[in-house]
């Protein structure tokens, strides 16, 4: 005889599946029960009842027999002797793929638990992108684990609950599965922050009767007005959950008493037309708060969610939130992407499509991520509730996270557009790339072929796609630049010994690389450029003992700097060297070649304590780019001074990087300008012109 939980599952499945489909699920139970025989959960019950509970949650969503069978078998590959091939033979490739997609990677070795979780999450998302049912199983698995988490240790409860709040509840929300999301949040909050949950829940409970009275009064008033207007609708009211109250307190630094919109109401109608009519009725009943209306029917969220949102000032000293939508929209709002499997007849397929599009974006992000932990961090930042919607000049809607910039928009259009972006036309206004976007704006990106991503862009982009693309480009660029510098340094070191890199036998070079644990010469050159290995030492190792003895006198050839070396060379902030200055180079471990002015007070100490890392460098005859240096001015203290100085610098093509006011009196101010110039000639012209400025009393170039 079947155990009671299995009989209940069978009865539930019989309500919507064919007998032969139910038979597949029962076969999966027999296989799972045999595989898990003798295994117990921490609570003491037979392990098989956990996958049965997971399957029952999914059956409540009316999922297909393959998903239910995979749910029953979801721990077999990981925790039993069953192999993936066994599942293929017994249940087919689809069920085996679903089980494999859910399986964690605990058997693999990682340096940290976070790295293991990150790699497991990466695999999960990849599997989700191929079949959304994987995440439905995983979410149901997590929900049952949270329902039975009391058997775990306090430390494990906090860790698992934190992961639930950080990853799984947001994923459920991103897929539009709000019912499941809210239960995960409630359970996660109670076990991750038990004291906070207890305090807020008690405060909510203490005024439960008063709140219920408010809910009933507002619900009755809305129903009466809707009936009078002839709008078919049902009205639901509730108080907000303890976790939603807590997040508002945390995010907006509010005390409990300051959280006002504690009541939420839902008006569910028959058509879009009725939604907008109901909105008019609600606004006539209670005055709406300014700028609180959001129309997610005309512009749905990226997960398919549609609804009208408005916040009204009620007569109960507390604003109320109202959501208005149709029955179909409500189904999608509650079940999200799972709605497609529940009711095939409803027009909700776009929800699954939108969910898949979001997952594919995440997969594209992970393909560029340096490692699993970077991908997990990016994925977490993408699991956000707030979005904005902007338009391309052709009217295409682009959804971005709140606080996104014009540059985030550029990367959302295409990686190449982002890489070559220079300015943005926002509602036909020419604005910089770091401009924050608002809902409904029309954005056009201006590009130039020679433009390239800058490291400072990482300081203002907010979308994972943009951040990952910029990091990837800079990393590739840095590596290429470092290879060139390392090659030049090693060549010069060998030249001083009467040899060249081409004269080193490939066998000797390969043996040396193998000894270092390197696969390619380029890796060695990068280590030299970054100061992790010295070119002089490498040159000696590459030469035989006889060749070293025969080496001639060292030449005095200096490394030439042309300004086009990119991130492989840094210019010391302590002295701000510019073309025309006498300079020297210091190979800083891990940082690479740093150029100092010979006037820099740090140079004598570097030569005294690290002579082997100091190298001769000089400027090439023609240097490209601009270089930062410090100019100090004593000026009159009054309005218009900065504008006048900025205009003078702009006329001479010197860019202002930053301005810092050091000292000031009633009549004078000391200003430190970091300006970018092409060299000493341009700097001399700048200083001469500034001395003629009526506001400037004294000007000089200084060391930082």
pLDDT attached to residue 413: 92
Grade residue 346 by pLDDT with cuts at 50, 70 and 90: very low
Worst-scoring range by mean pLDDT, 182-191, 428-437, 526-535? 526-535
List, for residues 55-74, the tens digit of each pLDDT value: 999 998 888 899 999 999 99
Q: Where does residue 533 rank: exposed (0-12), middle (13-18), buried (19+ CB within 10 A)?
A: buried
Residue whose tokens read 């007998």:
19
- DSSP state letters, 593-660: EEEEETT-TTHHHHHHH-GGGEEEEEE-SS--S-EEEEEEEEEE-STTHHHHHHHHHHHTTPEEEEEE
Grade residue 506 by pLDDT with cuts at 50, 70 and 90: confident
- To 5 degrees, how large is the angle CA 278–CA 280–CA 284? 115
pLDDT attached to residue 443: 92
Residue 477 or 702, more confident:
702
Residue whose tokens read 């006498």:
582
pLDDT attached to residue 448: 87
Q: Which H, E and C letters describe 276-321, residue by residue?
A: HHHHHHHHHHCEECCCCCEECCCCCCCCCCCCEEEEEECCCCCEEE
- pLDDT of 345 over the 80 cut: no
- To 5 degrees, how large is the angle CA 133–CA 139–CA 145? 140
* Domains assigned to the chain: 4-195 (1.10.3210.10), 202-347 (3.30.460.10), 558-624 (no CATH), 627-702 (3.30.70.260)
Worst-scoring range by mean pLDDT, 332-341, 373-382, 486-495? 373-382
- pLDDT of 10 over the 70 cut: yes
Looking at residues 129-136, what average pLDDT do you find? 77
Residue 563 or 191, more confident:
191
Grade residue 501 by pLDDT with cuts at 50, 70 and 90: confident
What is the layout of strands, in order, in the sheet containing 614-619? 559-561, 614-619, 583-588, 592-597, 569-571
Residue 10 or 622, more confident:
10
Worst-scoring range by mean pLDDT, 127-131, 260-264, 273-277, 353-357? 353-357
Asked if 213 is an active-site residue, the reply is: no
List, for residues 657-680, the tens digit of each pLDDT value: 778 877 778 888 898 888 888 899
Average pLDDT, the chain: 82
List, for residues 429-443, the tens digit of each pLDDT value: 888 898 999 877 889
Worst-scoring range by mean pLDDT, 196-210, 335-349, 363-377, 387-401? 335-349
The one catalytic residue among 78, 321, 377, 523: 78
Tell me which DSSP letter residue 74 carries.
Answer: T
The string over 412-444, giving b where at least 16 C-beta atoms fall within 10 Å of a residue's C-beta and e elsewhere, is: bbebebbbbbebbebeeeeeebebebeeebebb
Residue 542: which residues within 8 A CB-CB, separation 6 or more? 494, 504, 508, 509, 512
Residue 495 or 358, more confident:
495
Asked if 79 is an active-site residue, the reply is: yes
Residue 476 or 150, more confident:
150
pLDDT attached to residue 331: 78
- pLDDT of 109 over the 50 cut: no
Residue 32 or 215, more confident:
32
SS3 581: strand
Grade residue 188 by pLDDT with cuts at 50, 70 and 90: very high
The one catalytic residue among 79, 163, 272, 532: 79
List, for residues 195-214, the tens digit of each pLDDT value: 998 888 887 776 656 677 78
- Read off φ and ψ for residue 110, nearest 5 degrees: -130, 160
Most confident of 19-33, 110-124, 369-383: 19-33
pLDDT attached to residue 105: 38
User: Residue 487: how many CB atoms within 10 A of its CB?
Assistant: 18
């Amino acid at each position: 005889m079947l155990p009671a939980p299995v009989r209940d599952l069978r009865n539930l499945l019989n309500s919507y599946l064919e007998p032969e489909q139910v038979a597949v699920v029962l076969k999966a139970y027999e296989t799972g029960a045999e595989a898990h025989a003798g295994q117990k959960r921490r609570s003491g019950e037979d392990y098989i009842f956990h996958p049965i509970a997971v399957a029952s949650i999914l059956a409540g969503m009316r999922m297909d027999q393959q998903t239910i069978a995979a749910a029953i078998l979801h721990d077999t590959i990981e925790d039993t002797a069953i192999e993936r091939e066994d599942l293929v033979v017994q249940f087919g490739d689809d069920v085996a793929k679903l089980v494999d997609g859910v399986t964690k990677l605990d058997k693999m070795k990682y340096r940290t638990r976070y790295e293991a979780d990150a790699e497991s999450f990466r695999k999960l998302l990849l599997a989700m992108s191929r079949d959304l049912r994987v995440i439905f199983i995983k979410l149901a698995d997590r929900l049952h684990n949270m329902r039975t988490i009391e058997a775990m240790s306090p430390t494990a409860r906090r860790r698992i609950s934190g992961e639930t709040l950080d990853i799984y509840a947001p994923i459920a929300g991103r897929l539009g599965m709000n019912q499941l999301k809210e239960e995960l949040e409630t359970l996660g909050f109670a076990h991750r922050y038990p004291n906070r949950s207890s305090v807020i829940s008690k405060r909510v409970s203490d005024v439960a009767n008063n709140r219920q009275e408010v809910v009933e009064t507002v619900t009755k008033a809305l129903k009466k007005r809707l009936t009078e207007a002839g709008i078919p609708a049902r009205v639901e009211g509730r108080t907000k959950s303890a976790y939603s109250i807590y997040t508002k307190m945390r995010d907006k630094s509010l005390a409990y008493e300051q959280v006002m919109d504690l009541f939420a109401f839902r008006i569910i109608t028959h058509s879009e037309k009725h939604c907008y009519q109901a909105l008019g009725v609600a606004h006539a009943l209670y005055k709406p708060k300014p700028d609180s209306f959001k129309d997610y029917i005309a512009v749905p969220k990226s997960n398919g969610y549609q609804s009208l949102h408005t916040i009204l000032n009620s007569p109960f000293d507390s604003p109320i939130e109202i959501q208005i939508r149709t029955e179909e929209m409500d189904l999608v709002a509650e079940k999200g992407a799972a709605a497609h499997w529940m009711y095939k007849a409803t027009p909700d397929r776009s929800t699954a499509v939108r969910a898949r599009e979001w997952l594919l974006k995440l997969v594209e992000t992970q393909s560029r991520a340096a490692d699993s932990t970077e991908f997990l961090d990016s994925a977490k930042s993408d699991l956000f509730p707030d979005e904005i919607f902007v338009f391309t000049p052709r009217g295409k809607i682009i959804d971005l996270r709140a606080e996104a910039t014009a540059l985030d928009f550029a990367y959302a259009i295409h990686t190449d557009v982002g890489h070559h972006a220079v300015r943005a036309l926002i509602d036909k206004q020419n604005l910089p790339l770091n401009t924050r976007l608002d809902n409904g704006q029309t954005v056009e990106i201006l590009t130039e072929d020679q433009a390239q991503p800058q490291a400072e862009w990482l300081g203002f982009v907010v979308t994972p796609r943009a951040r990952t693309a910029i990091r990837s480009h800079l990393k590739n660029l840095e590596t290429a630049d470092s290879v060139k510098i390392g090659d030049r340094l090693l060549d010069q070191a060998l030249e001083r010994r009467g040899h060249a890199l081409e004269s080193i036998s490939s066998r000797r070079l390969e043996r040396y690389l193998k000894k270092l644990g390197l696969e390619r010469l380029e890796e060695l050159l990068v280590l030299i450029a970054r100061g992790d290995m010295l070119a002089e030492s490498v040159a000696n190792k590459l030469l035989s003992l006889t060749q070293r003895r025969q080496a001639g006198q060292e030449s005095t050839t200096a490394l030439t700097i042309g300004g086009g070396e990119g991130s492989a060379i840094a210019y010391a902030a302590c002295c701000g060297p510019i073309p025309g200055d006498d300079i020297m180079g210091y190979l800083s471990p891990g940082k690479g070649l740093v150029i100092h002015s010979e006037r820099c007070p740090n140079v004598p100490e570097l030569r005294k304590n690290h002579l082997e890392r100091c190298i001769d460098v000089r400027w090439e005859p023609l240097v490209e780019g601009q270089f930062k240096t410090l100019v100090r001015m004593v000026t009159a203290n009054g309005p218009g001074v900065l504008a006048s100085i900025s205009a003078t610098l702009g006329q001479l093509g010197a860019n202002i990087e930053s301005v810092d006011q050091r000292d000031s009196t009633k009549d004078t101010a000391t200003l430190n300008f970091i300006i970018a110039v092409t060299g000493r000639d341009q700097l001399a012209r700048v200083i001469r012109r500034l001395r003629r400025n009526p506001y400037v009393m004294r000007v000089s170039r200084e060391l930082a």
